[in-house]
Structure 1
Amino acid sequence: MEYEAFKETLMDFLREKTGGEKSISLHRVEKNNGIELDALVVRGKRDKIAPMIYLKPFYVDFQGGLSMEEIAVQILQLSVTEKQEEFSLTEFEDYRKARTKVYYKLVNYDMNKRKLQYMPHIKYLDLAVVFYYRLEGGKLNGASIIIHDCNLHAWGIEKEQLVKDALLNTSRKLPYTIQGMEALIAELSGSQPRITGEELMYILTNEEKYYGAAVILYPHVLNHIAKVLKKNFYILPSSVHECILVPDQGQYSRIELKRMVKEVNDSQVEDEEILSYEIYYYDCKKEVLMM
């Protein structure tokens, strides 16, 4: 069964199973980098909010042999489970409470230009700093809500206040980590790292490895790393979650590094997690990151 037919058939199954007690609607949701996903919303008559349930994983299960009946049951169970874990709207709507849970992350500017029209953001190189509210505690811990201009209006605050609070929260609650590539591979494989002196590459992210590319904006982080390495370095945007740091020792040319970024983006990174196809260079004397 083709995907479009699967969607329609599943909607019919869900309407039949709920007997008109719940509304079943299909939405096209725009994610990062303009990626659009289909999501179902199962909403009871008294529900103020309802979770979005993305369809693609269920279509994969269907192709793998799961029946339409089994998928419909799973979706209805999931809609109830996630509803029980819904976040407090009261806390989100009151900025005095929400301000401790606002953070920032980096996305590609051009890939998200249309969405950025409606979001508070700061352009940085070929990237954009955008802001999100982070849920804390419960099964939804770490889930996020992108902050739009309408949220600032509802909160009665200016962009400057949001930036100030997000800068404080992000670097304090999501501290940066840096690890040599050799050490990381050894850790993942369970072997002993080779003693090779200085690493050729490092992974730079935050402790949760989630939206960790934003650590390049943390105050003094790049300057501190440059002082430890005692040299300039390249930064390769591995994804929105991490960057690869390459000390400038002459092993790689800019062309080689840029080719490396393209190959990784095209073969290993999910479309919505791509940060950039560019590479960046940190000059420790000028204390500046440039393209």
Structure 2
Amino acid sequence: MEYQTFKEELCRILQKRTEGKKKVILQQVEKNNGVVLDAVVLQGEREQVLPTIYLEELYEIYEQGVTLEQIAGHILCEEEKWKDEVEFSLEEFEDYTRARTSVFYKLVNYQMNERMLKRVPYIRYLDLAVVFYYRVEQEHFPGGSVLIHNNNLVTWGITKSQLMKDAAFNTSRKLPYRFMGMETLIAELSGETEMENLQKEELMYVLTNEEKFYGAAVLLYPHVLAHIGTLLKRNFFVLPSSVHECILVPDQGHYTRFELMKMVREVNQNQVEEEEILSYQVYYYDRKREALVM
């Protein structure tokens, strides 16, 4: 069955199984970096916040032998579970005095998101843009987020500078940074961490936040890069490996800038999902200037 037919048939089965109690809507969702995904939404009469079910992965499952009826059953089961576990309050979101403690920022690529940036408040940073999101901080819905749009600022009656101030406060405190050597990280993941590994100088380091979620935003945290420069006792390169983390390489002659740019390009092409690419640039932190530059 072709993908287009799969989408239409799945929607037909979902509509039949919900017995007209829900409206089955097929739509396209624009993600980071201009990635557009097909999705289906099941809308009840009084429901305002709905789970979005992406179809490309479901089509891959279908091609592996899972039937349309089984996929529809899975969607309906997950939708019921989502409804029971997630209580997202629109009233809380629309009242900024309550929402302000849950606004955060993240970094995205400016050029790859120009169309999206027309609709959202943002701040330019190098070849990137700082954008803002409302984080749904619930035990059963970790990492759930809502991108903040220009019309939200109008509803809230606040300025972009106020949003940035609150987001900066929340992000650096609720998502503290994590900095460790690449070899140490690998040893930790394999359960072989020893004290000498924690103290030795390494060729590469990983910088992210404790959740490894939109961790590249750590680059904006006050004094973090200066502190790392003091620890390393030298300037360093910053490789934007994804929106979730960066790789730091001390400037000690092991790699040229050209070699590092080639490394970033190859990683983006072969290991990073398109919507998680942050940049193809390599940045440089100058300790004297206390500045990150391209």
CA distance in 2, matches of 1:103, 1:10: 36
- 8 Å contact from structure 2 (residues 49, 88) kept in 1: no
Match of 2:157 in 1: 156
Counterpart of 2:258 in 1: which secondary structure? helix
Q: How many residue pairs align between the two structures?
A: 291
Amino acid at match of 2:208: T
Larger mean Cα displacement after TM superposition, 15-24 or 108-117: 15-24
Residue in structure 2 matched with residue 232 of structure 1 by the alignment: 235
Q: How does 1:124-273 map to 2 (within 5 A)?
A: 124-192=125-193, 195=197, 197-273=200-276
Partner Cα distance (2:49, 2:216) in 1? 31
How far residue 2 of structure 1 moved from its aligned partner, in angstroms, is: 1.8
Distance in 1, matches of 2:44 and 2:77, equals 13
Aligned equivalents of 2:149 and 2:193: distance in 1?
47
Which piece of structure 1 moves more, 280-289 or 7-16?
7-16
Residue matched to 1:31 = 31
**Per-residue deviation, 1:192:** 4.6
Local SS of the residue matching 2:140:
coil
Q: Note the C-alpha offset of 1:263.
A: 0.5
Deviates more, 1:86-95 or 1:258-267: 86-95
Query: Comparing 24-33 with 69-78, which one deviates more in the overlay?
Result: 69-78
Q: Distance in 2 between matches of 1:116 and 1:93?
A: 21
Distance 1:103 1:192, change over 3 A: closer
Overall identity of the aligned pairs, in %: 60
1:203-259, CA deviations, whole angstroms, 9 ceiling, x for partnerless residues? 000011100000011000001111111100000001000000000000000000000
Rounded to whole Å, the distance in 2 between the matches of 1:49 and 1:221 is: 37
TM-score under structure 1 length normalisation: 0.97
Unaligned runs of 5+ in 1: none
Secondary structure at the aligned position of 2:141 is classed as coil
Aligned match of 2:58: 58
How far apart are the structure 1 equivalents of 2:238 and 2:102? Answer: 28
Q: How far 1:143 sits from its partner (Å)? A: 0.7
Q: Which residue of 1 aligns with 2:5?
A: 5
The one-letter amino acid paired with 1:211 is Y
Over residues 242-279 of structure 1, what are the superposed CA-to-partner deviations in whole Å (9 max), with x where a residue is unaligned? 00000000000000000000000000000000000000
Q: TM-score under structure 2 normalisation?
A: 0.96
Moved over 6 A (4+): none
> Once the two structures are superposed, what CA deviation does each residue of 1:38-90 show, in whole Å capped at 9, x if it has no partner?
11111122223322111122112111111111111111122222223141111
Q: CA RMSD in A?
A: 1.3
Corresponding letter in the other structure for 1:102: V
Distance 1:281 1:76 in 2: 49
Residue 15 (structure 1) shift: 1.5
Once the two structures are overlaid, the 10-residue window that deviates more, 207-216 or 48-57, is 48-57
> Is the deviation greater in 159-168 or in 11-20?
11-20
Greater mean alpha carbon deviation, residues 74-83 or residues 226-235: 74-83
Q: Quote the residue 1:42 is aligned against.
A: 42
Query: In structure 2, what residue type is equivalent to 1:121?
Result: Y
Gaps of 5+ in 2: none
Find the aligned partners of 1:181 and 1:216 in 2 and give their Cα distance.
18
